[in-house]
Chain A
Amino acid sequence: MDQRVVSRHALTTVALAVLPLAFIGLFFVFPVVTILLRGFAPNGVLDLAAPLQVLARPETLGVAWFTLWQAVLSTLLTLCVGLPGAYLLARFNFPGRRVLNALILVPFVLPTVVVGAAFLALIGPRGPLGLRLDHTIWAILLAHVFYNSAVVVRVVGGLWAQLDPRTEEAARILGASRWGAFRQVTWPLLRPAVLSAASIVFLFTFTSFGVILILGGPGYATIEVAVYRAAAVLLDLPAAATLALLQLCFLAVSLVVYARLQQRAALSQRLVAARVAARPPRGRAEWAFVGVTLALLALVLGLPLATLVERALAGPQGYGLDNFTSLFGQSARGALFVPPIDAIRNSLVFAGGATAICLPLGLLAAAVIAYRRGVLASGFDALLMLPLGTSAVIIGFGFLVSVGQLPIDLRTSPLLIPIAHALVALPFVVRACVPLMRSIDRRLRDAAAVLGASPGRTWRLVDLPIVGRAALIGASFAFAVSLGEFGATLFIVRPEAPTMPIAIFRLLSQPGTLAFGQAMAMATVLMLVTAIAALAFDRLRTTSVGGA
């Protein structure tokens, strides 16, 4: 398909790509390469003996294999829950739909310590279900599904909501059953978004850390856990560097596979406003589907959240709001230097900053990837995904040893936090924008051009409203990622401005029911803030891009 917005000049491509590239180069490539070099050349001389020995160890192979298969299985299971959810929210209009759409994002945000506590309360000793799954692979898989369903629902659902339902109807009239219509007509159009979402989920589950540690226990280790042990605990940089590089290789391979699958040109198709496509369910079959999917979502996503809230409301004298009110005071005697309420403010500010950095960079990067075909664009795409697949410890330590050499010492600056968050959130903005950018009907642009709009104005007036919707989806993800970001933040040296996840972590590390109750209360607040932010973004999306 001929994309004529961006001119054929390579110069324009470079101009668009320079800012995101600079960002990634400065805050990812440079730190990671520095720390890896310290691992491979500890005394300035390349020494591969230790790394090779690490690779030869049988545990390394076992860890790598475990990481791979649990990620694949987690991704498949997440698709099983997320796809029906995406369809539900994209096509059906029912009371509470908007709230549900916002709530889906909540699990994504929660830091692993909190989720671990909730799951352990649910399926651990003394769990209300009578089901003991802690320290089994099932706890890990369930937690992964819990975390990542939001990605599938939002990314796939976002595109699905804009597919013309009449295409399916045409297929059904021509003799395809509902399932046949889906398979023959909807699925080919949906596939790019599904692959996009699946790649993100795979990435997250491959690099899973907190879930493995807390819910799996010492018997399970992913490469990420092994890197943590090597770097943060043992300060064995050669081993850490080797394992981190191994992880990167795995991810590079899977990204190549992903790119091959996406090779087929994305299709220009009719995109309709989401409101048009969603309608109330009719008929027994549709109501049954809605009911079953809602039940599934309630079970997998709702139960752990409900456990959290229950724990937050529980006090030594029964249920009440004491844990919440104590958040406003100087709580838990020094575990937090500021009233916990400040952590909320800090989180919001950092999330806003991360989104503000990430959104323009993401749009620029998405423009390059969507409009330029070829190896360079795919390579750029892969480069953007790498921070998600690199161990947080490596990135954090990399910052320490590299950023100090810059003229401004950012190592202890609060600015580093939104930068780190933006690095992690960037792929989301890109992933959300690219499929929609590619799907824009060429005739719309032609129409604009014929009416006198230059390519730049065409982009602004035609693509941007449609892309704007995608950008808002990406921004909502970026905001949520930043709110709940814990791993990378943990390994950066932080001034005394804790974010909510850090505050929760500190509260959980303190003994006593009060601290635990406060941690659960703050986790509930985190949930609420995310839900409100998601609702606000959704509201923005429908009002500003209403006509798209």
Chain B
Amino acid sequence: MLRLSGVRVTYGTTAALDGIDLEVRPGERLAVLGPSGSGKSTLLRAIAGLEPLAGGVIDWDGQDLAGVPVHRRGFGLMFQDYVLFPHRDVAGNVAFGLEMHGVTPARRLARVEEVLALVGLPGYGGRRIDQLSGGEQQRVALARALAPTPRLLMLDEPLGALDRGLRTRLLEELYGLFTRLELPIIYVTHDQEEALAVGDRVAVINRGRLEAVMPARDLWRSPPNQFVARFLGLNNVVPLVPARDAVATPWGDLPLTGAPAAPPDASWLLLRPEALALDPDGPLRGIVVAVTFRGETTTIHVRPTEAADGPLLEAHLQSDTGDPPVVGQSVRLSVNRAGVLFLP
């Protein structure tokens, strides 16, 4: 099991990682989610031993990794944009770790074939790197990381360089692959969809600090603060303005009868988009400015009636309920009480 305690990494005077406490349990899939520049890659590099720590401890099963050099940690890292060895072919790349560990050529051959089959590239051993497509390179990079049987696998934005369709497909494949592997996996990404799909737990990182580490579903249902909420794509976050028995929103006052009151430290209000529905008697009202058909759901953006440039309310409506609203239409919405969240 990997444990980080108070880990700090600095570049000059700026702290790329500022006091990280994290655990990765055996067999766990941990997704690390954050915007670019948040320190996600630095986190992986620090675990791999490529960045010296300015403070804190990283240990594996209780053993402090401070004195352990990079090549003896036994971790696997798949780099963003793969970084394959151009002077070796596919088999040469995949076998590299095995060579370093002194595996005999015969067993190397067998293992390379095995791993290539695992990632879906059977028989690709003799190909040259510059002849591979992006998706193929990604799989070779993965195979290379997996071949020497690492005790921890880290992936740095593995799907970042791929196009959307490929990404979705590969995400499913990766997930399937991960369920078959028994090693802990750290998956770093800026895409919340990937993070939620892959991770048992999701750690949200922002400017070198962890904002939250929670199981995926819990994170989704109850984001702990407004940064995480926004980052997860829940955009209806407005300052909390209490009114009598209600809260004031730019789109109207929301009555809060018979429900737990806002906790004293809450300063933000989140209205979950999927909890909004069109309601001719609803307390929220506005003018529709955008309608996006997304298949099962239709997303509408609604601005306050009085303020032409006020904040937009995003609602995910089921497509099959009645006629969709049109741009410019005046609508009224109500919100399911379960979809109203108070955030600190």
Q: Do chains A and B touch in the complex (CB under 8 A)?
A: yes
Chain A residues close to B by CB (< 8 Å): 1, 164, 166-167, 169-178, 180-181, 184-185, 188-189, 267-270, 282-283, 442
Q: Which of B44-102 contact A (CB under 8 A)?
A: 45, 48, 50, 52, 69-77, 79, 83, 85-87, 96-97, 99-101
- B74 — nearest CB in chain A belongs to which residue? A175
- A187 — nearest CB in chain B belongs to which residue? B87
- A282 — nearest CB in chain B belongs to which residue? B52
**8 A-B residue pairs with CB within 8 Å:** A164-B83, A169-B70, A172-B50, A177-B71, A180-B71, A268-B130, A269-B86, A270-B86
Asked if residues B50 and A180 are in contact (CB atoms below 8 Å), the reply is: no
Task: For the complex formed, measure the closest distance between the CB of B199 and the CB atoms of chain A, giving whole angstroms.
Answer: 22
- A184 neighbours in B (Cβ, 8 Å): 96, 99
Asked if residues A175 and B71 are in contact (CB atoms below 8 Å), the reply is: yes
Contact of B75 (CB < 8 Å), options: A1, A173, A268, A282: A173
User: If the complex has contacts A166-B79, A189-B87, A267-B87, are A174 and B100 also in contact, measured as CB distance less than 8 A?
Assistant: yes
Contact of B85 (CB < 8 Å), options: A175, A177, A185: A185
CA distance A175 to B72 in the complex (A): 6
Asked if residues A167 and B148 are in contact (CB atoms below 8 Å), the reply is: no
Asked if residues A169 and B101 are in contact (CB atoms below 8 Å), the reply is: no
Asked if residues B71 and A166 are in contact (CB atoms below 8 Å), the reply is: no
User: If the complex has contacts A166-B79, A268-B86, are A174 and B130 also in contact, measured as CB distance less than 8 A?
Assistant: no
Asked if residues B144 and A174 are in contact (CB atoms below 8 Å), the reply is: yes
- A171 neighbours in B (Cβ, 8 Å): 85, 96, 100
Task: For the complex formed, measure the closest distance between the CB of B344 and the CB atoms of chain A, giving whole angstroms.
Answer: 38
Contact of A174 (CB < 8 Å), options: B50, B86, B96: B96
Asked if residues B97 and A267 are in contact (CB atoms below 8 Å), the reply is: no
Asked if residues B86 and A189 are in contact (CB atoms below 8 Å), the reply is: yes
User: If the complex has contacts A283-B52, A442-B130, are A173 and B76 also in contact, measured as CB distance less than 8 A?
Assistant: yes
- A269 neighbours in B (Cβ, 8 Å): 86
- B77 — nearest CB in chain A belongs to which residue? A173
CA distance A169 to B73 in the complex (A): 13
Number of interface residues of B (CB under 8 A): 27
Asked if residues B70 and A173 are in contact (CB atoms below 8 Å), the reply is: yes
Contact of B86 (CB < 8 Å), options: A173, A267, A283: A267
Other CB < 8 Å A-B pairs besides A169-B45, A176-B71, 4 of them? Answer: A169-B50, A172-B50, A174-B76, A176-B96
CA distance A267 to B86 in the complex (A): 7
CA distance A365 to B192 in the complex (A): 52
Asked if residues A175 and B100 are in contact (CB atoms below 8 Å), the reply is: yes
- B99 neighbours in A (Cβ, 8 Å): 184
User: If the complex has contacts A180-B71, A180-B100, A442-B130, are A173 and B48 also in contact, measured as CB distance less than 8 A?
Assistant: yes
- B148 neighbours in A (Cβ, 8 Å): 174-175
Task: For the complex formed, measure the closest distance between the CB of B132 and the CB atoms of chain A, giving whole angstroms.
Answer: 11
Asked if residues B96 and A172 are in contact (CB atoms below 8 Å), the reply is: no
Contact of B101 (CB < 8 Å), options: A164, A172, A175, A181: A175
The 7 closest A-B pairs by CB, nearest first: A175-B100, A174-B97, A172-B70, A188-B87, A269-B86, A267-B86, A173-B77
- A171 — nearest CB in chain B belongs to which residue? B96
- A166 neighbours in B (Cβ, 8 Å): 79, 83
- A185 neighbours in B (Cβ, 8 Å): 85, 87
CA distance A529 to B129 in the complex (A): 46
Task: For the complex formed, measure the closest distance between the CB of A477 and the CB atoms of chain B, giving whole angstroms.
Answer: 27
- A175 — nearest CB in chain B belongs to which residue? B100
CA distance A173 to B69 in the complex (A): 9
Tell me if A's interface is mostly helix, strand, loop or mixed: helix
Q: Which of B281-297 contact A (CB under 8 A)?
A: none
Task: For the complex formed, measure the closest distance between the CB of B89 and the CB atoms of chain A, giving whole angstroms.
Answer: 12
Contact of A173 (CB < 8 Å), options: B52, B71, B87: B71
CA distance A260 to B52 in the complex (A): 43
- B144 neighbours in A (Cβ, 8 Å): 170, 174
- B130 — nearest CB in chain A belongs to which residue? A268
CA distance A518 to B73 in the complex (A): 61
- A267 neighbours in B (Cβ, 8 Å): 86-87
- A191 — nearest CB in chain B belongs to which residue? B87
Task: For the complex formed, measure the closest distance between the CB of B119 and the CB atoms of chain A, giving whole angstroms.
Answer: 16
Asked if residues B71 and A170 are in contact (CB atoms below 8 Å), the reply is: no
Among A164, A170, A174, A442, max chain B CB count under 10 A is at A174
User: If the complex has contacts A174-B148, A180-B71, are A167 and B83 also in contact, measured as CB distance less than 8 A?
Assistant: yes
Task: For the complex formed, measure the closest distance between the CB of A316 and the CB atoms of chain B, giving whole angstroms.
Answer: 51
CA distance A36 to B79 in the complex (A): 60
- A2 — nearest CB in chain B belongs to which residue? B130
Asked if residues A167 and B76 are in contact (CB atoms below 8 Å), the reply is: no
Among A164, A173, A185, max chain B CB count under 10 A is at A173
- A180 neighbours in B (Cβ, 8 Å): 71, 100
Task: For the complex formed, measure the closest distance between the CB of B144 and the CB atoms of chain A, giving whole angstroms.
Answer: 7
Task: For the complex formed, measure the closest distance between the CB of A184 and the CB atoms of chain B, giving whole angstroms.
Answer: 7
Asked if residues A170 and B100 are in contact (CB atoms below 8 Å), the reply is: no
CA distance A188 to B96 in the complex (A): 14
CA distance A188 to B129 in the complex (A): 15
CA distance A407 to B72 in the complex (A): 72
Asked if residues A170 and B76 are in contact (CB atoms below 8 Å), the reply is: no
CA distance A283 to B50 in the complex (A): 11
Task: For the complex formed, measure the closest distance between the CB of B315 and the CB atoms of chain A, giving whole angstroms.
Answer: 40
CA distance A176 to B45 in the complex (A): 16
- A1 neighbours in B (Cβ, 8 Å): 130
- B50 — nearest CB in chain A belongs to which residue? A169
Contact of A167 (CB < 8 Å), options: B69, B85, B97: B85
CA distance A337 to B100 in the complex (A): 68
CA distance A178 to B86 in the complex (A): 19
- A188 neighbours in B (Cβ, 8 Å): 87
CA distance A268 to B85 in the complex (A): 10
User: If the complex has contacts A177-B71, A283-B52, are A170 and B130 also in contact, measured as CB distance less than 8 A?
Assistant: no
- B86 neighbours in A (Cβ, 8 Å): 189, 267-270
- B128 — nearest CB in chain A belongs to which residue? A1
Contact of B79 (CB < 8 Å), options: A170, A178, A268, A283: A170
Task: For the complex formed, measure the closest distance between the CB of A72 and the CB atoms of chain B, giving whole angstroms.
Answer: 27
CA distance A185 to B100 in the complex (A): 12
- B50 neighbours in A (Cβ, 8 Å): 169, 172-173
- B100 neighbours in A (Cβ, 8 Å): 171, 174-176, 180
CA distance A164 to B87 in the complex (A): 14
CA distance A422 to B117 in the complex (A): 57
CA distance A40 to B69 in the complex (A): 66
- B52 neighbours in A (Cβ, 8 Å): 282-283
CA distance A273 to B86 in the complex (A): 18
CA distance A175 to B96 in the complex (A): 9
Asked if residues B97 and A177 are in contact (CB atoms below 8 Å), the reply is: no
CA distance A432 to B141 in the complex (A): 32
CA distance A176 to B101 in the complex (A): 8
- A282 neighbours in B (Cβ, 8 Å): 52
CA distance A269 to B85 in the complex (A): 9
Q: Which of B111-153 contact A (CB under 8 A)?
A: 130, 144-145, 148
- B82 — nearest CB in chain A belongs to which residue? A170
CA distance A221 to B148 in the complex (A): 57
Task: For the complex formed, measure the closest distance between the CB of B98 and the CB atoms of chain A, giving whole angstroms.
Answer: 9
CA distance A176 to B130 in the complex (A): 24
Asked if residues A175 and B83 are in contact (CB atoms below 8 Å), the reply is: no
- A269 — nearest CB in chain B belongs to which residue? B86
- B85 neighbours in A (Cβ, 8 Å): 167, 170-171, 185
The interface bits of chain B over 259-294 (1 if a CB of A lies within 8 angstroms of the residue's CB, else 0) are: 000000000000000000000000000000000000
Asked if residues B87 and A170 are in contact (CB atoms below 8 Å), the reply is: no
Asked if residues B79 and A172 are in contact (CB atoms below 8 Å), the reply is: no
- A270 neighbours in B (Cβ, 8 Å): 83, 86
Contact of B71 (CB < 8 Å), options: A164, A172, A268, A442: A172
- B79 neighbours in A (Cβ, 8 Å): 166, 169-170
